[in-house]
């Protein structure tokens, strides 16, 4: 079993926000709270006990993110290299055995996310546990930005990104990965909907 105290979480807020018109996505309000802060608060009330630490990966407005009271780290890779750059930053800074990654733009992610990923990783003897969830067509699809990663994958990810790799699934395919379905009765069907536009963000605020 993996204790939640052995998990550090990182919120991925380092993107360009291109589809939102170039705004800093993590600073956009969701029900009156900046998305990145909302994600941090949601991580701090995960079922099964507190996580060891919550961090934010951001590349703009660092002082504003630091005001949320959690450590903030920019990408080590240049030119907005995508989510894997955030994974890399998290693994470099992580002091626990496991790192949980969540994007800032999916405000309804489950309150038992860490617990279920940890349980599946332990049961499967996996290096990576990745969420999967039903999309609008009802099909289960992997949600690769929601991952629980062993810290010792850092060296592998450094090699992959230094070789120009940027796609999460191409890297995770190199390691023992379990997909964890979030389609049980009672699971929120909107839990993994991400807001790529301000209109999508506003629609997620509706009850």
pLDDT at 10: 98
pLDDT in tens, 30-39: 999 999 999 9
Residue 188 · residue 207 · CB < 8 Å:
no
Total-model pTM:
0.96
pLDDT in tens, 57-71: 999 999 999 999 999
Each domain of the chain, given as residue ranges in start order, spans: 4-204
Listed in sequence order, the DSSP H helices in 55-185 are 62-66, 83-93, 113-124, 154-162, 168-172
Dihedral angle over CA of 18, 91, 130, 70, nearest 10: -70
CA distance 39 to 24: 15
70: three-class secondary structure by DSSP: coil
**4-204 classified as CATH 3.40.50.2000:** no
CA distance 82 to 14: 8
pLDDT in tens, 151-166: 999 999 999 999 999 9
Mean residue pLDDT across the chain: 94
pLDDT in tens, 159-207: 999 999 999 999 999 999 999 999 999 999 999 999 888 889 989 987 6
4: three-class secondary structure by DSSP: helix
Give percent of the chain with pLDDT exceeding 70.
96
pLDDT in tens, 69-125: 999 999 988 776 789 999 999 999 999 999 999 999 999 999 999 999 999 999 999
**Spacing of C-alpha 171 from chain mean position:** 16
């Amino acid at each position: 079993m993996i204790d939640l105290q052995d998990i550090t979480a990182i919120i991925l807020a380092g993107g360009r926000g291109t589809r939102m018109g170039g705004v800093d996505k993590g600073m956009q309000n969701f029900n009156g709270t900046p998305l990145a802060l909302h994600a941090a608060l949601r991580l701090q009330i995960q079922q099964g006990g507190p996580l060891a630490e919550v961090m934010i990966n951001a590349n703009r407005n660092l002082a504003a993110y630091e005001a949320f009271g959690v450590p903030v780290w920019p990408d080590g890779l240049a030119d907005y290299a995508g989510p894997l750059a955030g994974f890399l930053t998290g693994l470099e800074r992580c002091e626990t055995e496991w790192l949980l990654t969540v994007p800032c733009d999916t405000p309804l992610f489950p309150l038992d996310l860490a617990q279920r990923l940890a349980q599946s990783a332990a049961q499967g003897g996996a290096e990576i546990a990745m969420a999967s969830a039903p999309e609008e067509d009802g099909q289960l699809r992997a949600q690769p930005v929601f991952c629980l990663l062993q810290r010792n994958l850092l060296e592998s990810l450094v090699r992959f990104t230094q070789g120009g790799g940027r796609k999460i699934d191409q890297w995770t395919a190199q390691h023992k990965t379990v997909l964890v379905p979030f389609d049980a009765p009672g699971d929120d069907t909107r839990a993994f909907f991400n807001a790529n536009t301000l209109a999508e963000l506003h629609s997620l605020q509706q009850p």
